[in-house]
Amino acid sequence: MLEVGINSYITLKEANEYFNTRLNNEAWLSLDENKKIASLIQASQIIDSKNFIGQKADSSQLLKFPRKNVIYDGAILPSNEVPRAIKQAVCELAIHLISNDVTAPNDLGQFEKVKLGPLEIQTQDNLSQNNIIQTLPPLVDALLKAFTYTQTRLYHG
């Protein structure tokens, strides 16, 4: 059961409205309601594993948003709502999850470095949370970037 603030950042109605205005929405529109709900919950859980700037608005809340002390696009975000970009990221990750199993183990996960002749690959598994997801889709990454800690930008709240 999808519950905003408990296991999802977005309602099924909001997600359906988002996808009704998005190109290449056929995969979403063809899903039954239960699969849509499952993908929204899983996308929210994956996004919730990130390290976000600021602090939870209420220490007893289950999800990491809403947050306080977050500056986005030059303004302090309201601490009583989930930013639109986070909801969009959930939708984009949800549709990605429909055809991609991001929980499948990474075959290189057991290695820090693999070298074959002149080719060398340095894995980043030790940077990911429990190796659950190695790479987010580029749009999801872009939507989340302003809210997450990076190596070059740290915010104190």
Residue 10 predicted with pLDDT over 80: yes
Rounded CA gap, 63 and 125, in Å?
24
CB distance 63 to 48 below 8 Å: yes
pLDDT digits (tens, 9 = 90+) for 78-114: 999 999 999 999 999 999 999 887 766 655 555 667 6
The domain locations on the chain are 12-145
Rounded CA gap, 57 and 80, in Å?
7
pLDDT digits (tens, 9 = 90+) for 121-146: 766 544 444 444 557 899 999 999 99
pLDDT digits (tens, 9 = 90+) for 36-76: 999 999 999 999 999 999 999 999 999 999 999 999 889 99
Radius of gyration of the chain (CA): 17
Q: Report which of 128, 127, 129, 131 is spatially closest to residue 105, judged by C-alpha positions.
A: 131
Q: What is the largest CA-CA distance in the chain?
A: 54
